[in-house]
Each structure stands twice: as C-alpha cells, then as structure tokens.
Amino acid sequence: MTVLGTSHTGFFHKSVRRVPARLAIGATCVKAQTDIGESWVIRDVHDGGPADRAGLLPTDVVLALDGKPLTPPRPVMFPMGMKTVVSIERDGVRQDLEIDIPEPRSRKQPYSEPRSVIASHLAPSLGYLKVTIFPGLIGIDVAGELDAAFRELSGCDRLILDLRGHLGGGLGVLRLMSHLTPDRIPIGYTITRKRREQRYDKENLPTLGKLPRNKFFGILGMAAKYAWRDSSVVLVSEGLGPKRYHGRVVILTNEGTVSAGEMVCAFARERGLATLIGTETAGRLIPGSGFKVGHGYLVIFPKAAYVTWGGEIFEGRGLKPDVFEPWSADAFREGRDNQLERAIEVVSGL
C-alpha cells in the first residue's frame, strides 16, 4: 500500500491475526511525541466497540501488546477472536487493560462493529449525529437506523454530523447523503480502468439512486442489476424531501475519517450542504475488492476510482476542512471537546 500509494490495498491471512486497531477494536491510533518519545496514542474510541468496552480512552499512550513493547513505525495490529492485554500509560500511570475482540462476521473484510449511529440533542433545536460505520454491503439495516435518528432530530433546525474516525463501509452511505439534501441530485461515481480507457460519458453510466427496503429481495435485485458487470456507477441522492436543518449543517472530520465518510464530506462540500470543521481527512477514498490467492491468503486491490460529480478525486490527499480546528488533548483532560465546541459556535451562526 505504501509503495503503490493507494488505499484499500493489502495482503493478509484469513486467520485475522493482524487487523488494524481501527477495525479490530474500534479505536484510532495516531503517532505523537510523548514524554517517552514517539508513541502510538489513542484518539477516537467508538461507542460499543471492544476498545470502549475495555475502558480505553483518548490520550492513552500505547506501551505494549501482550507484554511486547510497541512503538512506531510498527503498526498497532490485533488478533480477532481472542483476548489481548494492552499496556497503556494514562496520567503518568501504567495500566494493563484486557480487550476481548470478537470473531469478525467476514474474514474477507474483518472488523468489530461499534454502535453505527448515535443521535442526541445538544440544545432543543440543535441535533448531534455520530456515524461511525456503514455495515453491510447494501446497508439496509444502517439505513433504517439513520432514518430513526433523523426522525428523533426532526425538530432541529441545525445539525452537527460527527464523522471523526469514521470507518467506512457499504451503500448505507447513500441514505446519509440523501438526508443532507431534499432533491435527487448526482453525488459522484465510480469508474473502472476499463471504462475509463473506453472514454466514458458520466451522464450515461448506470445509476444507483435508491436503497432497497427488503434485504432478501434487495440483494437479488442488486445482483441482477449490477453483478458481473463493470462496476462503474453513478450515485444519486434519494430525494427524501426538505428538512428543517438543511443549509445549517456542520460536519466534524479528522485524519481518521476515511472512505465512505469522505464521500459524505466531498458531496456536502461540493454541493454547499455543510461546513467542514476539524482536520484533513485520510484521503482513502477508493473502492477495493479481495481475492483468494491460496493457502488461506487474500489480496485486496483497488477496483475503481471514486470521482465527485464535479470531477474531484480525493484519493491520497484528503479533504481539507473549511474551519481548521485541531483536537486538543488538554481540553479532553478537562472534560471538553474543543472541536465540538467550535462546531457549536459555527453552526449557531448559520
């Protein structure tokens, strides 16, 4: 992945003994200078994930896994389906926390699923929505969770959408983007190398503009329409109608915002639907596919590029926020979220 300069590229064994922390335990690890030198520091901890259940917190410094010291550039990787002891430093004190990591639903795309959607009111007319992942290929279940969350926030005339540390996922992303605009409008498209070499017209690509309601028939319908065909396709918002918060939305981002989360940010930015606040996203915005290569090993390759309707490609460079607001560890220790505070300030003025 480093040599090729692309995301969604890898080579791993189906035993899932080395899965990145963000996927295995639902926590983002970032490099940072600490009192003990360059270390891995916990940043995002997703509600309901293994890291959250074990008691890991942002600002925890990772010292060792199962007694073996761990420092950059060696990545923070976990075995799934096992318990792992993570040694951390918190407020100058070393602690050992046992993380119970479940078996993944799929060994082709292994991850532990945290709470996907969390909605709350920060004020009577100010809604807060945290979306961590779009599980499932078609995303019918998470689409239902999103619909329920937006019903809960229907009385709000302002919205903060928190995509910090977003893990990516499947087509459930279409429902979230559709809730940001009343209209049916093109979002962006995937384009394969083969279709690009044939000189394509984006206006004539197949379109996907509605998620199915029934899981069984939805899978059959999607397979009949898109399986075994070139995977170049245009995403179109579903046209869910006007909402009180439209035009007054802020999206929180950071370096852990990847893939489908970046699609949301790119769509909102390009269409003027939201203000982005935080730090630059990861720049990992490209579809990939896994293939078995024998002896239990799988290889993942990019299968298409993702292009916004306006022609932007963010793979490898990420999206810069409209309002730059780095996360403050000192503020967190004081019980504050400085990025969220900035978001409240900005959205209140819209």
Q: What CATH number does residue 313 fall under?
A: 3.90.226.10
Indicate whether 51 and 160 sit together in one domain.
no
Residue 282 lies in a domain: yes
Q: What average pLDDT does range 150-165 have in this prediction?
A: 98
Look up the CATH number of the domain holding residue 33. 2.30.42.10
Indicate whether 58 and 169 sit together in one domain.
no
Q: What average pLDDT does range 39-48 have in this prediction?
A: 96
Q: Which domain holds residue 95?
A: 17-100
Domain finish residue from 100, 128, 144: 100
Indicate whether 86 and 136 sit together in one domain.
no
Pick the more confident residue, 304 or 230: 304
Indicate whether 271 and 337 sit together in one domain.
yes
Q: CA 313, CA 266: separation in Å to the nearest integer?
A: 9
Indicate whether 239 and 300 sit together in one domain.
yes
User: Which residues are bridge partners to 203 per DSSP?
Assistant: none
Indicate whether 157 and 245 sit together in one domain.
yes
Locus of tokens 């799929």: 106
Q: What average pLDDT does range 165-177 have in this prediction?
A: 95
Locus of tokens 């900035």: 342
Q: What average pLDDT does range 249-270 have in this prediction?
A: 97
Q: What average pLDDT does range 211-230 have in this prediction?
A: 64
pLDDT confidence band for 197 (50 / 70 / 90): confident
Residue 10 lies in a domain: no
Helix (H) or strand (E) holding 264: helix 260-270
Indicate whether 219 and 310 sit together in one domain.
yes
Indicate whether 222 and 305 sit together in one domain.
yes
Would you say 277 and 342 are in contact if contact means Cβ atoms under 8 Å apart?
yes
Indicate whether 250 and 338 sit together in one domain.
yes
Domain finish residue from 50, 65, 100: 100
- pLDDT score, position 57: 97
Query: Whole-model pTM?
Result: 0.93
